Structure 1
Amino acid sequence: MTETADRVANQALRNDLEDVYGRYEELRSGVDELQRSIATMRVSAASPDGAVHATVNADGDLIGLRLDQHACREWNVDTLARVIVETVQHASAGKHRQVEHLVTTHRPPDEAAAA
């Protein structure tokens, strides 16, 4: 009788281990996907008038800047500098929101429900 009970207990442990390993594989796959998404992330923002466009990567580094001819001709350098900085900051804030969204959507179902 104890031999049968041991077999049942062992099978239950094997089943539990398979479940845990399956969840681990799902989490690992999700983390890999999250890392790929963040690594390729690009976030752009434009100034309110559209004269300045800035693009940042996941690290917040400025990787693209486009200036309208109007901005270069009509604005003084201080105004242009201020608008560029504000637009880059706006893109960086958008990057933070996107990273937060990605992390939230990649949480395991149990953890996402608790948040």
Structure 2
Amino acid sequence: MTNPELEARNAALRGQVDSMLANLEQQTAQLKQAQAEAMSKVGRASSPDGLVEVTVNAGGIVTGVTFAPAAFDRSTPEKLGQSVVATIQQAALNARAQADAVLTPFTEGLPDLPDFFPGMPSIKDLIPTPPPIVPPAPQARQNDDEPPESFMDRRGSQW
């Protein structure tokens, strides 16, 4: 005994499920592609004085550091170290912003726990935001008419 109305409803439901599965497969493929693209992003930054250039990957791992030829003549080790750190941070933020831009279409509008369960903590609050980059305060030179002393000139006396 078959009921034509029941068979029609079952066929319609199967069609909906098939459509939903096809849509899910398409969205999964798009998300995998977006994740791969996000992970391929590279952040680059140069120090304000142009003495340091840094490249980082999407995970924030430093993949390259370049010093200008005059870096050791125009700076001290302490200042150069501070410049390297600040430039790495800027490059990492650059890479993160690029990766986030690729993934934003997939994360916008997603419901959060409090949407389903009032009073629950938000998952979004569990994701730490990177601290702001605060460049080191410039140190005043003794005499602005003279170039900074190079640490290369002091090498013999330090070692």
1:52 and 2:52 correspond = yes
Q: Which amino acid aligns with 1:43?
A: G
The equivalent residue for 1:99 is 99
Listed as ranges, the gaps of 5+ residues in structure 1 are: none
Q: After the TM superposition, which residues 1-115 of structure 1 pair with which residues of structure 2 at under 5 Å, given as runs?
A: 3-105=3-105, 107=106, 112=108, 114=109
CA–CA distance in structure 1, aligned partners of residues 72 and 29 of structure 2: 47
Two-structure CA RMSD over aligned residues (Å): 1.7
Residue correspondences, number: 109
Question: Which stretch of the first structure deviates more once superposed, 23-32 or 56-65?
Answer: 23-32
Q: Are the counterparts in 1 of residues 56 and 95 from structure 2 also a CA contact under 8 Å?
A: yes
Q: CA deviation at 1:30?
A: 1.4
TM-score (norm 2): 0.63
Residues 32-91 of structure 1 show CA distances to partners (whole Å, capped at 9, x for unaligned) of 112211332211111123221101111111001111012122101001101110000001
Secondary structure of 1:69's aligned partner: coil
Question: Which stretch of the first structure deviates more once superposed, 2-11 or 85-94?
Answer: 2-11
The equivalent residue for 2:115 is none
The equivalent residue for 2:146 is none
Q: Are the counterparts in 1 of residues 43 and 93 from structure 2 also a CA contact under 8 Å?
A: no
Q: 1:101 to 1:31 in 2, by over 3 A?
A: same
Q: CA deviation at 1:92?
A: 0.9
CA–CA distance in structure 1, aligned partners of residues 12 and 48 of structure 2: 62
Moved over 3 A (4+): none
Structure (1/2) with the larger helix percentage: 1
CA–CA distance in structure 1, aligned partners of residues 74 and 48 of structure 2: 16
CA–CA distance in structure 1, aligned partners of residues 37 and 100 of structure 2: 12
Q: Which amino acid aligns with 2:91?
A: A
Q: Are the counterparts in 1 of residues 38 and 103 from structure 2 also a CA contact under 8 Å?
A: no
Structure (1/2) with the larger strand percentage: 1
CA–CA distance in structure 2, aligned partners of residues 104 and 5 of structure 1: 44
Secondary structure of 1:95's aligned partner: helix
